[in-house]
Structure 1
Amino acid sequence: MKEKVAAIDAALARIDAGTYGLCVVCGKPIPEARLEFRPMAADHVECASRA
């Protein structure tokens, strides 16, 4: 539960910073479908699968 709250807080911080929707790893845009499914996503699928 704490991890989800932290992910949501981080997403809100990215909104405030104007970087929401951009991958935190490579800077490429995160597809809208991914953000609809997982609004707190910080990376796109390619970067997430590398971790």
Structure 2
Amino acid sequence: DYEWILAFEADELYRIVDLMRHLRASEARLHVREEVPFYTGRRKSVADLVAGLA
């Protein structure tokens, strides 16, 4: 049960990975009790998503 979820978007995946690594090294990170993994995926329109399920 997480209090919030963040969504990031970038043209290249490595930019998000680098951002997450940078944020995990921040001082505010000292207050995090539980290390939560992050998940990646490609952005799809609803039509593409429905077509992929058929």
TM range (shorter): 0.3 to 0.5
Bigger fraction of residues in helix: 1
Which TM-score applies when normalising by structure 2? 0.32
Higher relative contact order by CA 8 Å / sep ≥ 6: 1 or 2?
1
Structure number with greater Rg is 2
Which TM-score applies when normalising by structure 1? 0.34
